């Protein structure tokens, strides 16, 4: 039991269980009801897994970035670029020579996502621009690039193969869940089975010491931002496939907060260092469960962001050494007064 409490996954997992229990109580158990239709599972729990898949994919990439002490607030714009590009290719608005091939559209969208990540990594690793400033450039310009790709319009498509990215099922479970699982397993293999994970932690703790220890800090940071760009592109494909089109104004809008929130709930320090990909995935499920709970009980959608903002405040305070020390001092004094 003690070992479980010491693991980073314990707190977000307990939070997720508590939220699910509250949902079950308030709904009279209906929240956990599942139905099988045409061999596919349906229900709010399945909705959480399907809709939370893009958060899970983003959380994998964002965890790696935050673990190095950086940040990426451009993922929403990269999602918009990815969705606009893929849908425009499938609709043959651009590159008509590809014949609207879905695989080609996905491959090009992922390549452009990697290119966006490479741009962010170049600014951060090579030009030493502050991560929040470097990624703010693409956050601002990226949505405009997406609008240019889509010619300022909402691109709608009817491709069943493209819709399968979000609406498909395998063994009764949503296909996006398998995408998120693949990205998680790939990242776990890289960070657990190679020295890359230790290098990421070392860079986050002290990049100067990591460089003196022989770690190629700039190269690793560059690779991490490229990986985060690919994750954002995948999330953009999932979202655009879900609505069968590309809405450049709303695709990934403010999702940067959700990605950072998921990682923070997972326990990864926002200043870098120790991280857990599995804990971040659980954090993403917490974020999606909160959203699903609020919508399920008829609360106004605009309240969702207020709840998330409050959670961010609590997490930031919980990670602040000064705040923790102050609270210990206050409760310590109260205890001394009570004993006297």
Provide DSSP, 25-48.
HHHTTGGG--EEETTEEESHHHHH
Report CA-CA distances (Å) from 79 to 85, 141, 216.
10, 13, 29
Residue with tokens 């903002």: 309
Q: In whole angstroms, what is the distance from residue 69 CA to residue 266 CA? A: 16
- Cα-only R_g, the chain: 21
Query: Is the CB of residue 134 less than 8 Å from the CB of residue 120?
Result: yes
Mean pLDDT is lowest, of 76-80, 128-132, 258-262, 327-331, for: 327-331
Q: HSE, CB side, 13 Å, CA atoms: give it for residue 171.
A: 2
pLDDT in tens, 32-71: 888 888 888 888 889 899 999 999 999 999 999 999 999 9
149-198 pLDDT, tens digit each: 998 888 888 889 999 999 899 988 999 999 999 999 999 999 999 889 88
Q: What distance in Å separates the CA atoms of residue 49 and residue 56, rounded to the nearest whole number?
A: 9
| φ/ψ (deg, to 5) at 37 | -125, 120
pLDDT band for position 77 (cuts 50, 70, 90) = very high
Write down the pTM of the prediction.
0.89
Q: How far apart are CA 56 and CA 289, in angstroms?
A: 12
Nearest to residue 292, comparing CAs of 278, 280, 279, 307? 307
Determine what percent of the chain is predicted with pLDDT higher than 70: 93
Alpha helices per DSSP H over the chain:
2-6, 10-27, 44-51, 53-67, 75-90, 102-121, 131-149, 160-167, 175-193, 196-205, 207-212, 217-242, 255-265, 277-296, 302-318, 321-339
Give helix 75-90 / helix 255-265 axis angle, nearest 10°.
120
Grouping H, G, I as helix, E, B as strand and the rest as coil, residue 155 is strand
- The confidence score (pLDDT) of residue 114 equals 97
Q: What per-residue confidence (pLDDT) applies to 336?
A: 46
Write out the two tokens for 300.
């106004």
Residue 215, pLDDT above cutoff 70: yes
Q: How does pLDDT run across 99-120, given as a tens digit for each residue?
A: 999 999 999 999 999 999 999 9
Q: What is the pLDDT of residue 2?
A: 55
């Amino acid at each position: 039991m003690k070992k479980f409490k010491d693991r980073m996954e314990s707190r977000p997992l307990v939070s997720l269980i508590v939220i699910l229990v509250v949902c079950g109580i308030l709904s009279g158990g209906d929240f956990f009801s599942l139905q099988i239709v045409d061999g596919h599972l349906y229900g709010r729990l399945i909705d959480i897994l399907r809709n939370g898949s893009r958060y899970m994919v983003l959380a994998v990439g964002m965890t790696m970035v935050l673990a190095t002490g950086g940040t990426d607030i451009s993922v929403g714009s990269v999602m918009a670029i990815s969705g606009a590009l893929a849908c425009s290719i499938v609709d043959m608005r651009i590159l008509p020579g590809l014949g609207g091939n879905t695989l080609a559209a996905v491959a090009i969208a992922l390549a452009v996502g990697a290119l966006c990540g490479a741009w962010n990594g170049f600014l951060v690793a090579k030009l030493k621009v502050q991560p929040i400033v470097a990624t703010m450039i693409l956050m601002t310009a990226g949505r405009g690039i997406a609008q240019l790709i889509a010619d300022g319009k909402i691109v709608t498509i009817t491709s069943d193969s493209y819709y399968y990215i979000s609406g498909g099922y395998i063994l009764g479970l949503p296909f996006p869940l398998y995408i998120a699982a693949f990205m998680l397993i790939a990242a776990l293999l890289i960070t657990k089975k190679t020295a890359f994970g230790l290098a990421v932690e070392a860079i986050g703790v002290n990049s100067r010491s990591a460089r003196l220890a022989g770690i190629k800090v700039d190269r690793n940071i560059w690779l991490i931002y490229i990986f985060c760009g690919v994750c954002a592109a995948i999330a953009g494909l999932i979202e655009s496939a879900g609505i069968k089109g590309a809405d450049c104004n709303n695709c990934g809008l403010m999702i940067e907060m959700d990605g950072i929130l998921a990682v923070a709930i997972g326990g990864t320090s926002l200043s870098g260092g120790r991280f857990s990909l599995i804990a971040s995935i659980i954090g993403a499920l917490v974020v999606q469960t909160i959203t699903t709970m609020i919508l399920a009980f008829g609360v106004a959608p605009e309240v969702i962001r207020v709840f998330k903002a409050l959670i961010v405040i609590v997490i930031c305070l919980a990670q602040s050494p000064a705040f923790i020390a102050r609270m210990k001092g206050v409760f310590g004094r109260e205890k001394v007064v009570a004993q006297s």
